[in-house]
Chains A and B, each alone.
Chain A
Amino acid sequence: MSIKFKHVSYVYAPATPFEQKGLDDVSFELKENQFIALIGHTGSGKSTLMQHFNALLQPSSGEIALAGHRITPTTKQRDLKTLRQQVSLVFQFPEAQLFESTVLADIAFGPKNFGYTDAEAKKLALKWLEKVGLPKSIANKSPFELSGGQMRRVAIAGVMAYEPAILCLDEPAAGLDPKGRHMMLELFKAYQARGHTVILVTHNMDDVADYADDVLVMEHGRLLRHTTPSEVFKDRAWLLKHGLGQPAASEFAAQLAENGLPLLPQPLTLTALTHRLVAHFKGGE
């Protein structure tokens, strides 16, 4: 099964002076169980698109098919509860949504909400507390006593604990230190590898290069491109024109090329860049 958007448009505040197009005739098909990056500069429609994945917003026109559901402008919200269990959104600063009295209760809230018993939910909560890299000793602390980075992990554990088939995350690693960021992305990659779809909204092109199978590029509410990281990062001029960057390794390779040392194919990651340079200078051609 796949995730299919067919001519999806979304209009904010229709028939008012504030009417604004959020999505404009967006069509694409994603394979399930892949790691998808959703990029585009601020205001490009990334968040609007993301909110369509679990029907927080319903299309003004067009149709969406995913996780066994069909979403149209007239789909009733009450038919969407199982969709919400299968498709979860994690917004920016999810730590702002913590509310329970203990860390464990906060993580267990999601699973309980979707019908797990107290005991099952508690077990899942403990499992995910550890999976997101937090010590068991904080389970009975108030989430509000934790550092910002720890609160972020608690919030994300609360969503992953009911194992949605499709997990959409908006800049989940912003504000985390390099080690925490790396750990978080590895966690999502492992989650995807175990048979889930991960959709990551990000400004970090290195993360796109390191993790994504597929990339969706948004601009002005339209889908500009749907392709692979190696394709999207090929054309530097195109990226600049659309306010997007390149991964650090590609940027460096572009500077080398400008100064007479082209490396092909274009490296996207530090490892690839090092390999190509070593092969170039140490022979092996």
Chain B
Amino acid sequence: MEQKDIIKLSQVDFTYPEAEQPAVKALNLTLQAGTWTALIGHNGSGKSTVSKLLDGLLFPTNPDSQIMIAGLPLTPETVWEVRKHVGIVFQNPDHQFVGATVADDVAFGLENRGISRAEMQRRIPAVLAQVGMADYADAEPSHLSGGQKQRVAIAGVLALKPQIMILDEATAMLDPEGRKMVIDIVRKMMVQDHLTIISITHDLDEANLADQVLVLDDGQLIATGTPAEVFQKAALLERSGLALPFFYQLKSELMAQGINIPTTITTETELVAYLCQLNLNM
């Protein structure tokens, strides 16, 4: 029902005070509700600035810029209303904990919003169950593993029922197991709650799982499209300080060495099946 544009940026410019170059230049962007978008780009390309613009931590420096979030124009007047719809999970979970227990920590955001105690008692167990942390409600956050901490941080965001969740390098510090678990949970939430996900990441294999990939360089979008479309542009990505996900690297290496891979093959599983079939036909 809600296949509408939940985020719309038009001609967004942002220049930090005293900076010579704008951090974000003429950015136009439309994201649909309930989709997963990966925002990639080298360090200093403007990714974090974009996430701060989406949450009203920064405002465009060009008066003609427009940012629409969940149907609201984002301005200093509407920022508090808009923030109700946007949750952010940051890279370092230790910087985000305030509560003495896991449940207290999730309650913190709800208290800030003036949610009633009865409602909090309903929501907290529900979101902790959603992220698989129900058994840890009374645990001290400092005793959790990195992956568990990030799941609690996500629960804290989910409890506020946002429409948009921004993951700002949220899996960068996690071990492979923790990383996979966080991604799986967020994906489930996306489908279940029709959540819109924006994942800012350097993990290109993670970006490869998104519905849409945006590549930012010097504050400008230099490529957008499905992962298959974007990761075809190997030279462009490399010039921009990025690399290709493993699957695309392997495919291009094999092609370069004379093993022809049909263009219809776009996933690792398909490539495995294709190579094994090739082996049988030998």
Q: Which residues of A contact B (CB under 8 A)?
A: 41-43, 92-93, 147-150, 171, 174-182, 203, 205, 243-245, 248-249, 252, 255-256, 259-261, 270-271, 273-274, 277-278, 280-282
Q: Which residues of B contact A (CB under 8 A)?
A: 41-45, 48, 91-92, 145-147, 169, 172-178, 202, 204-205, 241-243, 246, 249-250, 253-254, 257-259, 268-269, 272-273, 275-276, 278-280, 282
Which of chain A's residues have a CB closer than 8 A to the CB of B178?
Answer: 41-42
CA distance A171 to B147 in the complex (A): 15
Say yes or no: B276 contacts A203, CB within 8 Å. no
Say yes or no: B243 contacts A178, CB within 8 Å. yes
Question: Which of A150, A175, A260, A270 is the one whose CB lies under 8 Å from B202?
Answer: A175
Say yes or no: A256 contacts B44, CB within 8 Å. no
CA distance A5 to B173 in the complex (A): 28
Which of chain B's residues have a CB closer than 8 A to the CB of A41?
Answer: 145, 175, 177-178
Say yes or no: A176 contacts B272, CB within 8 Å. no
Say yes or no: A175 contacts B172, CB within 8 Å. yes
Say yes or no: B204 contacts A270, CB within 8 Å. no
Known: A203-B176, A274-B253, A277-B259. A181 touches B202 (CB 8 A): yes
Say yes or no: A259 contacts B254, CB within 8 Å. no
Say yes or no: A260 contacts B276, CB within 8 Å. yes
Question: Which of B42, B249, B250, B253 is the one whose CB lies under 8 Å from A177?
Answer: B42
CB distance from A200 to the nearest CB of B (A): 15
Question: Which of B43, B44, B175, B259 is the one whose CB lies under 8 Å from A243?
Answer: B175
Say yes or no: A42 contacts B145, CB within 8 Å. yes
Say yes or no: A270 contacts B241, CB within 8 Å. no
Known: A243-B177, A259-B273. A180 touches B259 (CB 8 A): no
CB distance from A131 to the nearest CB of B (A): 18
Say yes or no: A178 contacts B43, CB within 8 Å. no
Q: Which of B41, B175, B249 has the most CB of A within 10 A?
A: B175
Say yes or no: A177 contacts B258, CB within 8 Å. no
Which of chain B's residues have a CB closer than 8 A to the CB of A180?
Answer: 42-43, 241
CB distance from A224 to the nearest CB of B (A): 15
Which of chain A's residues have a CB closer than 8 A to the CB of B45?
Answer: 177
Say yes or no: A248 contacts B242, CB within 8 Å. no
CA distance A261 to B274 in the complex (A): 11
Say yes or no: A43 contacts B145, CB within 8 Å. yes
Say yes or no: B272 contacts A177, CB within 8 Å. no
Say yes or no: B246 contacts A270, CB within 8 Å. yes
